[in-house]
């Protein structure tokens, strides 16, 4: 079976499992104050679209896009299970999130990731994102909360 992206309207066991795995991966290098991912409840609020990637029916990744009022959107909760990495799952998810951002009128797509996420840093740069200053709520957080953060943006045409 090919890779399928499933848009979720409400939390599922698979969504919880993937977000829990992402949180566990991030809890190693980053303190609680330095982790800025949306909770499962916040992922399923108005203004956020969330997708699960399935390969042969199995959940292998997830990602969301949050729409902001000032013409930008933010990538949230991007994750691909370690055993499924290297199969273009992240690229397919990101392309869908970019498509949704454009469809909602966003002209700027942003994201925050951590400095220990070396593969993610390379991935986003290859996908056309460039580093930028802290944006939105991140710009007003205490320095300790964002000292390990790396911010990216991409202009959507």
Closest CA to 137 of 107, 104, 156, 112: 112
Enclosing domain of residue 8: 3-155
Q: Are 109 and 152 in contact (CB under 8 A)?
A: no
- CA torsion sign, 14 to 18 to 122 to 127? positive
**Residues 11-53: tens digit of each pLDDT:** 999 999 999 999 999 999 999 999 999 999 999 999 999 999 9
Q: For residue 13, give the CATH number of its domain.
A: 3.40.630.30
- Tell the burial category of 106 from Cβ atoms under 10 Å away from its Cβ (0-12, 13-18, 19+): buried
CA distance 88 to 51: 15
As for how many domains the chain has, the answer is: 1
Question: Is the model's pLDDT at 121 over the cut of 80?
Answer: yes
The overall pTM is greater than 0.75: yes
Question: Is the model's pLDDT at 151 over the cut of 80?
Answer: yes
**Region 73-83: what's the mean pLDDT?**
97
């Amino acid at each position: 079976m090919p890779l399928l992206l499933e848009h979720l309207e409400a939390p599922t066991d698979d969504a919880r499992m993937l977000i829990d795995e992402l949180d566990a991966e991030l809890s190693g290098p980053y303190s609680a104050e330095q982790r800025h991912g949306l909770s499962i409840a916040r992922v399923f609020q108005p203004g956020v679209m969330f997708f699960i990637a399935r390969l042969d029916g199995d959940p292998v990744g997830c990602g969301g896009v949050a729409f902001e009022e000032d013409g930008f959107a933010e990538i949230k909760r991007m994750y691909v299970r370690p055993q499924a990495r290297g199969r273009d799952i992240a690229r397919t998810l990101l392309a869908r999130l970019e498509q949704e951002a454009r469809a909602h009128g966003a002209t700027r797509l942003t994201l925050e990731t951590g400095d220990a996420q070396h593969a993610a840093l390379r991935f986003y740069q290859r996908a056309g994102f460039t580093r930028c200053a802290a944006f939105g709520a991140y710009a007003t957080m205490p320095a300790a909360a964002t000292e390990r953060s790396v911010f990216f943006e991409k202009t959507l045409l």
